[in-house]
Chains A and B, each alone.
Chain A
Amino acid sequence: MTALATLDHVTRTFGSVTAVDDVTIEIREGEMLGLLGPNGAGKTTVISMLQGRRRPTSGTVQIFGGNPADAASRRRLGSTPQETALPDSLRVGEVIDFVGAHFSDRRVTAELAEEFGVGEFLKRQVGSLSGGQKRRLSVALAFVGNPKLVLLDEPTTGLDVDARHSLWAVLRAQHERGATVVVTSHYLEEIEALAERVVVMAGGRVVADDSLAGILGRVGLRLVRLETDQPDRVAALEGVSHRDGSDYFVRDSDAFLAALVTSGITFRDLTVRGATLEEAFLSLTEGAR
C-alpha cells in the first residue's frame, strides 16, 4: 500500500501552546482511518495541516507526495469545514457548483445533492437550511471533486441519531468506491461505525495507532458494574484498573469476581461486559497524562 499522506515528526505550536507534539502518521491508500480524541487533542490541527491551511512548526507534512500548501497538491483532496461555515446568501446548488468548479473530474450537482439528502433544496439559500441540512451539504462538498483522499473533521456534529446513521451509510459507500477517508471524531460510536484503523490522540500526541480490533483488544478492559456499601474496598482489590461510580474496570473479570467473593464484601446487581471503545479510549488517554 502506498502512502497518500504523511506526517513525519510534526509539531505545531500556537504561541506557548503545543497543539500537535511530534506526531507521525502515515495515511495509506484505500483505508478508512479514524482520528479519535477529546476536544483539544490536536485532531483539527492535524487536519488543517493536511489541508495546507496551517504549516507545521517543525517536521514535514506531505499529501500526494507534495507540500499541501501548494494548490497543485490539493487537486485530489476533498474536505469539509468543521463548523457550519457555508455562505448564507448563496443557494445550495451554487455552493456545490462553486466548490465543484475547482476540480477537473467533478460530480453532477443534482446527483451529489440527492445522495447526501439535500437534493430538494438546490434552489434554497443556504441560510434557510436547518443545522442538520447544512451539515449534510458541508460533507457533500468534500466529495464533489471525486477526491482520492477525503478529510472529514467531525462530520456528524449536531446531527440526530437517524441522520447520523444515514450519513455513515453514505460515507461507507463512498469509501467502497475507492476514496481514502480520514474521519476525526470525539463520538466514539462514530469511529466504531466507520474506522478500520484508529489513531488515538491526546494532548497533541498519538497515544495509540492500531486496527479497531487491536485498539479494543490491546486495552482489553472489562467493565464490572455492581452496587455495594464498601466501594473503596472493592476498588482496592487486585486487578482493578480504575473505578467510575459503580463501574469497576478490570483486566480479568473472572479473577476479579473470585477475589470479590473471597473478600466477603456484600454486593448486588452485578453485570459484567466488555468495555466499549469510549471506555477503552478513556483509559488510553488517562495513561498518556
Chain B
Amino acid sequence: MSVASLTLVHAKYSLIETMRIPIAVIGTVVFPALALLFFVVPQQAVAGNPEYATQAIISMSVFSVMIGSLFSFGLGIAENREKPWEPYLRSLPAPGIARVLAHILSTGLLAIVALIPIILVGGLLTSARVTPLQIVIGLVAVAVACLPFMLLGMVIGYALPMKAAIAVIQVTFFALAFGGGLFLPPQLFPSWLDTLSQFLPSRQARDFVIWAVQGGELTPLTWLGLIGWTVVLLALVLVLFRRDEGRRFR
C-alpha cells in the first residue's frame, strides 16, 4: 500500500471519529472568532482602517490555526499514546510518514475550517476588504505557513505525557503568539524584540500570509525560516515517532 493511500485512510478514519462527537470541534471553530469579536472589533483605530483590520484578521487567523494545531496535535497525540488503540495501529504496516501526514490532513483541515467564522466576523464587522481570490490565497498561505505549528504540536505530543504536554503547550503558544506579533502588532515592538521575533515561526507565518494577501515585500528570513522550521520539526517528529513506545512509566 502506498504512503499516499495510507495517509488518506488514516486521515479519513480520524475525521470520522472526530465528527461522531461534533461538539468537540466547537471550541476550535468558535474560540478564534470570539477573540476577534472582543479584541479587534471594538477598537475603532484598527477595525476602522482597512489595512490594519485585514492584518489583524490575518494575525487572528494565524493565531487560531496555531492554537488549534498545538492543542489538537499535541494533546490529541499525547492522549492517544496513552490508549491501547494507538500502539495497535503502530503494528500495522504503515510507515511513520503516513501517520504524520494523516494527522496534518485531518486535524489541519479542521483548523482551516475554523477560519471561516473569523473571515465572516471580520468581513461583516470591520472595514477589512479583500476579494474572494485573496481569501483563497490567504487560506492556502495559512495552511502552508502553519505547518511548523502542526509539527511542533506533534513533537510535543510524542515527547511528553499528556499532563506535561498541556503545560508545555500553554507556555509555548503564549510565547509564540505574543513574540510573533499576533496579539500586539510588531510595529509596537522595541527593536530588539522585533529582531528576535523575526526568527519565530509565528512571526514568519504572520508576515508570510500578510504578504500573500496584501502584497509588499517578503524578507528572505521569513520564507527561509518557514522552510527551516518545517524541515527540522518534520525530521524531529519522524525520529520521535520511530522511537515512541507509548507512554513510559517508571
Scoring B1, B245, B249 by chain A CB atoms within 10 A of each residue's CB, the highest score goes to: B1
Q: Smallest distance from the beta carbon of B17 to chain A beta carbons, Å? A: 5
B residues in contact with A169, CB < 8 Å? none
Q: Which of B9, B85, B245 contacts A54 (CB 8 A)?
A: B245
Contact residue among A14, A89, A103, A125 (Cβ-Cβ distance under 8 Å from B1) = A103
B17 & A53 in contact (Cβ 8 Å cutoff): no
Q: How far is the CA of A83 from the CA of B82 in the complex (A)?
A: 13
| Contact size range, B | 20 to 34
B20 contacts across to A, CB distance below 8 A: 89-90, 125
Q: Which single residue of chain B is at the shortest CB-CB distance from A86?
A: B85
Residue B93 interfacial (CB < 8 Å): yes
Inter-chain contact A81/B88, CB cutoff 8 Å? yes
Tell me the smallest distance from the CB of B16 to a CB of chain A, in Å.
7
* Chain A residues with CB under 8 A of B91: 51-53, 74, 77, 79
Please tell me the number of chain A residues within 8 Å of chain B, measured between CB atoms. 32
Known: A81-B85, A85-B88, A102-B1. Is A75-B93 also a contact (CB below 8 A)? yes
Query: Does the CB pair B1–A81 fall under 8 Å?
Result: no
Say whether, besides A71-B93, A74-B92, A98-B9, A53 and B246 are in contact (CB < 8 Å): yes
B242 interface contact, C-beta 8 A: yes
Q: What A residues does B242 contact at CB under 8 A?
A: 69
A90 CB, nearest partner CB in chain B, Å = 6
CB distance B94 to A71 under 8 Å? yes
A99 touches B245 (CB 8 A): no
CB within 8 Å for A90 and B1 given contacts A69-B242, A71-B94: no
Contacts of A69 in B (CB 8 A): 242
B90 interface neighbour in A52, A75, A90, A104, Cβ under 8 Å: A52
Query: Can you list 20 A-B pairs with a CB-CB distance of less than 8 A?
Result: A48-B87, A52-B91, A53-B87, A53-B90, A53-B91, A53-B245, A54-B245, A55-B245, A71-B94, A71-B96, A85-B83, A85-B84, A85-B88, A87-B17, A90-B16, A98-B13, A101-B1, A101-B6, A102-B92, A103-B93
Residues in B lying within 8 Å of A, measured CB to CB: 1, 5-6, 9, 13, 16-17, 20-21, 83-85, 87-88, 90-96, 242, 245-246, 249-250
Known A51-B90, A53-B245, A74-B92; 12 more pairs at CB < 8 Å: A52-B90, A53-B91, A54-B245, A72-B95, A74-B91, A74-B93, A77-B93, A89-B17, A90-B13, A94-B13, A101-B1, A103-B1
